[in-house]
Structure 1
């Protein structure tokens, strides 16, 4: 009963607020803020509607959208209006399942997130929501269009994470979209990336989201599903082209493609070249010659297109001991390494290394 009474009280406040904004518009029909605030009130009123009453919720959201449209017509640079308008459209789309009407609404929402990001590029939440909208759209469009939309969604989630390294929702969402892509690839046999690679990538993001927010049950459940897809006891294993450990600016001919492992504490080169087998005692045998970066020493991680590097997708890890330069096989592979190293560092910086350690070594 208290919740119901609180809801009624809140609705009375919203109704009163709406009347104020209507009066403001009557006094000045060219006031974008009045339209924007009225739209917010309508949108919140829609959230207060009986969950079983889709029609009244939808009509309130539709009215809110009209007010946002008017606000942005009067003030085309109103970021918040585009952002909240997109949310309102997305809520309307969710009520329509996987229909043509839903598809059109998702496309509208995506256009508004696009506009919001154009107006305020430093908006990880808008990028994350944009990615979610694309993910929803990909489930409706014809199969031939799906992969392009999914890849765009991946880029939006990744951009959101690059703006806010500990944005666990975007990290988790990137994991889920990669998992879905892995499922699609395993069914259709897509040519670009093996499903196992995609599953492994997906697991990295889910593990990172869980490490950052260990109490989130959704992340915990997802981790149970994907943990075995990690290259345990490591988070990531793959190839990078590296200079000799004792000569980071060696001539290109001395750089070799070799295997690297990343766990919760370090990035470590594990053998001199791809032709050399990885032995259990390889780390002991040649540790002094191997490149090793302690996560605790990392200052920043970035792409690098320095001409002194061999051709390819350059990676620079700035550490307290100086920069470490490596080259990934492809730009797509580089994205994976950048994210993984940044995530491990972010988890360390947030004091959650023990959670990540439990995931990969437990």
Structure 2
């Protein structure tokens, strides 16, 4: 009957409000925040009583329950899991009423993932991770341009891979890698996805080493892992997690030496030399600087530096690398390396090579400069 349905409706929602009201918060700021959440929860409950088919009211109420779960004092009697379970029910109702509500699927997946984390590496946790992954997939289907959802999808797969039988693990890991890569393609400086890709590659290297039948060289995987961890640290050097991870993988980084092809450069210490004096020679970039290479392709030694005074720009002096249209440069694609001592100009063969060179060098220099800073500070 309709009266019985109304009683069940009221009882069900009373449970959610009781859970919200039971949260005290861990400090005064938390208690103040919880009072606001309790007020908001009551408001959304009233909105649902006026219109039971309002998906936004269910969605916002779910957010209140989810934020209340984050506000739970571990020493209190409040149940974080019970709050998250109620939040999941509200998200389910919101998506039933509006199947295209991207934010509801995304936050629902986060709530499920938080419930899975509480359960450790159990069969129940595995089922919850699979459900979270399905919701991240649905969120991405509704909004493909969401690097955060893709990153979380990858994390969910990574967590699931630690629980499933060994025969399933590698397939899940490779799927996680693909999600992190797409997230980075959508947002090239997304340091969390970059770091997560580094950690998942490290785990894959460990598994490959143990299996004894590698599809890819474990050393290659370790090297790739180290590059991503270093890049994440370069983007966020203040993150202690990235600092610690970099210490672990620093020795796995590929040798800090990159041939960058041929460039035309003026004689050292003579930036305004006539075009006939500019020389085309091979340049290399390593952890110390951008410099001319000798006939063997190696950077000149310090003793050779004193005798020949080759073109050399120290990494720590470089501010930026960009294309230059300066009309006083010799024919070719102009390159300006701005340094703390002023700009240095070089010329590349063609515009396409210049574009590729300048983009790659900017990324590598950014990583190298931060790595150098890290070693200088002794961290």
Determine if the alignment matches structure 1 residue 7 to structure 2 residue 36: no
Tell me: higher relative CO, structure 1 or 2? Use CA pairs within 8 A at least 6 residues apart: 1
Which residue is equivalent to 2:213?
190
Aligned residues of 2:26 and 2:72 also touching (Cα < 8 A): no
Which residue is equivalent to 1:218?
241
1:355 to 358, 364, 370: 370
1:38 to 61, 67, 82: 61
Q: Structure 2: how far apart are the matches of 1:177 and 1:44?
A: 29
Q: Structure 2: how far apart are the matches of 1:113 and 1:262?
A: 41
1:265 Cα deviation (Å)? 9.9
Q: Structure 2: how far apart are the matches of 1:175 and 1:54?
A: 39
1:195/1:282 CA distance change after superposition, 3 Å: farther
Q: Deviations over 1:135-183 (max 9, x none)?
A: 0000000000000100111111111111111111111111000001111
Aligned residues of 2:25 and 2:72 also touching (Cα < 8 A): no
1:360/1:186 CA distance change after superposition, 3 Å: farther
In the superposition, the TM-score normalised over structure 2's length comes to: 0.68
User: Whose radius of gyration is greater, 1 or 2?
Assistant: 2
1:83 to 102, 106, 114: 106
1:50 to 49, 73, 85: 73
Q: Structure 2: how far apart are the matches of 1:135 and 1:80?
A: 22
Alignment gaps of 5+ in structure 1: 246-259, 272-277, 285-294, 299-318, 326-337
1:144 to 167, 170, 178: 167
1:132 Cα deviation (Å)? 0.6
The Cα RMSD (Å) is 4.0
Q: Structure 1: how far apart are the matches of 2:62 and 2:349?
A: 50
Q: Deviations over 1:26-53 (max 9, x none)?
A: 1111100000000000001111112256
Determine if the alignment matches structure 1 residue 170 to structure 2 residue 193: yes
Which residue is equivalent to 2:117?
94
1:233 Cα deviation (Å)? 2.4
1:110 Cα deviation (Å)? 0.6
Which residue is equivalent to 1:208?
231
In the superposition, the TM-score normalised over structure 1's length comes to: 0.71
Any runs of at least 4 consecutive aligned residues in structure 1 with deviations exceeding 3 A, and if so which?
A: 52-55, 260-268, 278-284, 341-348, 356-362
Determine if the alignment matches structure 1 residue 109 to structure 2 residue 132: yes
1:344 Cα deviation (Å)? 6.1
1:2/1:60 CA distance change after superposition, 3 Å: closer
Residue 176 of structure 1 aligns to a residue whose secondary structure is helix
Q: Structure 2: how far apart are the matches of 1:58 and 1:129?
A: 20
1:59 Cα deviation (Å)? 0.7
1:140/1:192 CA distance change after superposition, 3 Å: same
Residue 165 of structure 1 aligns to a residue whose secondary structure is coil
Which residue is equivalent to 2:352?
323
Aligned residues of 1:54 and 1:95 also touching (Cα < 8 A): no
1:355 Cα deviation (Å)? 1.1
Which residue is equivalent to 1:296?
321
Aligned residues of 2:177 and 2:197 also touching (Cα < 8 A): yes
Residue 145 of structure 1 aligns to a residue whose secondary structure is helix
Q: Structure 1: how far apart are the matches of 2:102 and 2:108?
A: 10
1:261/1:173 CA distance change after superposition, 3 Å: farther
2:158 to 135, 147, 170: 135
**After alignment, is 100-109 or 43-52 more displaced?**
43-52
Alignment gaps of 5+ in structure 2: 1-23, 264-282, 305-319, 324-347
